[in-house]
């Protein structure tokens, strides 16, 4: 219990001082946190949840990299069971790489997005968080149609032609 509380306090303190492109901090919680070189990388392990504004990213493992000059977050690597949720859209993959300067996330490893019962999958999906757009590379699109299109029967077509 004490270890989990310390990790959450450390994660809260870690996140409170970090700002990217806006005044909104990134908040990360996890079962465990390890700082290899204080100030350059932090590793989160187990039930990792990253929240920034209206986006939530979950994974089993995450490494946060800091810019040595500014001490701001430069990049984030998330691995294993990655899920990104934002405004009714959910993306899944095995790996995600977040670039803070560009506000983009690159998903790989069985990457797919589900929105409004439509699924898009690919080898690599790039999500541009500010523009609310994405690029799918080497992929496929699955569109599910709820309603059957009613087609006139052959008898109705013959009568209309007469």
Q: What is the mean pLDDT of each run of 10 residues along the chain (162 residues)?
A: 25 33 76 80 94 92 89 92 92 95 92 87 90 82 56 50 54
Torsion sign across C-alpha atoms 148, 154, 156, 160: positive
Which domains, and CATH codes, for the chain? 2-145 (2.60.450.10)
Distances (CA, A) of 1 to 6, 28, 160: 9, 18, 76
Q: Check residue 135 and report its DSSP letter.
A: E
Name which of 80, 73, 19 is nearest 42 in CA terms: 73
- Identify the pLDDT of residue 118: 83
pTM: 0.71
- Identify the pLDDT of residue 153: 53
90 neighbors 125 (Cβ within 8 angstroms): no
Residue 71's φ and ψ, nearest 5 degrees, are 65, 15
Name which of 59, 58, 76, 79 is nearest 67 in CA terms: 76
């Amino acid at each position: 219990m004490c270890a989990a509380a310390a990790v959450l306090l450390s994660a809260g303190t870690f996140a409170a001082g970090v700002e990217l492109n806006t005044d909104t901090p990134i908040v990360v919680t996890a079962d465990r946190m390890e700082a290899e070189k204080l100030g350059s990388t932090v590793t989160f392990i187990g039930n990792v949840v990253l929240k920034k504004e209206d986006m939530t990213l979950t994974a089993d493992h995450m490494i946060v990299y800091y810019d040595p000059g500014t001490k701001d977050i430069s990049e984030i690597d998330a691995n294993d069971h990655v899920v990104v949720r934002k405004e009714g859209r959910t993306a899944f993959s095995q790996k995600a790489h977040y670039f803070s300067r560009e506000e983009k996330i690159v998903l790989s490893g069985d990457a797919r997005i589900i929105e409004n019962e439509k699924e898009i999958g690919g080898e690599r999906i790039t999500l541009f968080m500010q523009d609310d757009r994405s690029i799918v590379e080497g992929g496929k699109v699955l569109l599910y149609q709820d309603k059957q299109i009613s087609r006139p029967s052959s008898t109705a077509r013959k009568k209309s032609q007469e």
